[in-house]
A and B are shown apart, each in its own frame.
Chain A
Amino acid sequence: MSYVVTASPHLHSGDSTPRIMWNVVLSLVPVVAAAAWFFGPTALLVVLASVAGALLPERIWGRRSATRDGSAAITGILLALTLPPGIPLWMAFLGGAFGIIFGKLVFGGLGQNVFNPALLGRAFLQAAFPVAITTWPVAGGPWWGLRGDTFAIPFASPQPLDTVTAATPLGLMKFEHKGTPLWDLMLGTTGGSLGETAALVILLCGGYLALRNYLNWRIPASIFLSVAIFSGVLHLLDASRYPGPLFMIFSGGVVLGAVFMATDMVTSPVTHGGCYVFGAGIGLLVVAIRVWGGLAEGVMYAILLMNAVVPSINRITQPRVFGTREAA
């Protein structure tokens, strides 16, 4: 009889990478459901298209059975949540594929990428189709109705849209200096992309992940804090030009970005100290881009910029090794 010989430890916590990933997917289900509630079946179609776009290249070029670890599905869902409900499905598909190919596979697949693949896909769509990605249909209307050019033919020249386009709270604020009631922001009854609108649902789902230690709460906490502080200071200086901290946090993609995008394990720091630095940096950039930049929204670029410096953040925030208190 022969026995298995393995290295110690011979016990394991039982956690696994696919389990973490599928838990994130699970926690995104209510967010997708909320999107479907606000924007009708179109929302689900956009999610499906984007997930399919993410899975396909992973299936073709990724590691064996890489699609089963759940990470590409997350990328697809997250990307969809940043898109406007009326976006043509082929664009959502293309965005997902771009995010996985150029955001993940070229770096060497799972765990090797520097940038959040979902945000990279979104950045690509924004650069390639600036009109489609900033066309926001109104929430409400007939629930079953399709919004926008859902079934547009790929690469056909975009027709002037015949849907009514609503402004997002951030657009209203930036370009028309109009506020939106906070309660609408929290509950999601405003214009915006799929996952931007239901802040409360996102916070609850994030709380679940944080409890299971699948999400480092320090990142969203420090993002919220830093957005609050910087926008609060500006608001105190000139309340008529700069919106207050609560509006800043609950409008646009801050909540979604802070809870689900910035916390992507692969592209965020491994040290706790690093998580605070990372979150603070994102918050600062979000406020700066929104206030001084030409864009109404800044979350995507803020996170991507901070992704780029994660290796340096990790380096300067190494924990103090046990027994080195006095040592230089």
Chain B
Amino acid sequence: MGKRIGVEVSIAAAEAAALADVDVIAAYPITPQTHIVEHLSELVADGHLDAEFIPVESEHSAMSCCIGSSAAGARTFTATSSQGYALMSEICYIASSMRLPIVMTVANRALSAPISIWNDHADMMMSRDTGWIQTVAENGQEVVDLIFHAFKVGEDHRVLLPVQVNLDGFILSHMIEPIHMPDKAEVDAYLPPYKPAMRLDPAHPVSMGPVGMPDIYTEAKMAQDQALRNSKAVIVEAWKEFGDKFGRYYKPVETYKTEDAETIIVSMGSISETAMTAADALRAKGKKVGVARIRLWRPFPEAELFEPVKGAKNLVVLDRAMNFSGGDTGILGGEVKSVLFDQNHHPSLRNFFVGLGGRDITVQNFEEMVEKASANGGKPVPYEIINVRD
């Protein structure tokens, strides 16, 4: 029946990958992801996990090994952060184009320069258009559950795409949290063994990764785009099955007190917990505030996001990453605006950049942002960086 334990989230993530019985792990150390792969190599060293652990010489090679391994038909896992992600990004695009169901956890961290080991979502934002399915965890339990879900969805023959599970560096990765770890039999009942749809096998020779001339490149991209679009139904279905088996139900967008909210905070990741605390504090002062948290980042859940926010007068959209658009909106801000445009809906919207490179965000900050959004009156205002010293 599994058990509930107090455990560092990184350790739990590694245990989850081990419970998924991964065959190959290829990874390179980078803070704050390191504990995940350290623990996996420990599990292999102690014989708790029968897998090949490839201690590669770079993240670029980590993802390249993962492609080789997944193409050979093995269940494959890796983890990275920030600069490591940036280095491997060339190969991440190829993993999704080749339709290989690799699972990667990214302990989100700011991008250099200045070099910073602390949290923000710059790496996640950089990875958003790679064609990977992307989920974002709010707490340790979700990290574990999303890892099982990632294998389940990615390996589904209706999908066959790599999946990136994002968790906030330090804020989540290094926290000790109470987490329910299922036992092997429970995981096996949810996650069938990986059956590759195609593999590098001398008995059935295939050529993977051929040259795409102009007369086929567009079709190749179309097919890939369809795969990502179609994955959404499977993602939701796999969450439903997960809920039925484990009692924890997930959906693409999570909501908190949005039904009657005048102002809704749109957020991703662990910051949403602070946002919910702030919503309660503001509600105590008579302000109707709610939170919509995006769990499924790619494919982007447009309808699921519009549904809870459509009644709100004001929207506070949080981008936890610097995005030098030079225009009015950051990345999430832009995505939300495009959803509203499609629905011909015009609330008062403010886009804030928060928590850059490990900067704290307080409940007071939320009060300030909610205030600004309410006072905006629907005019377009450029994004604003919160908590910046003058």
| Binding between chains A and B | no
Contact surface of A with B, Cβ cutoff 8 Å:
none
Binding site for A on B (CB under 8 A): none
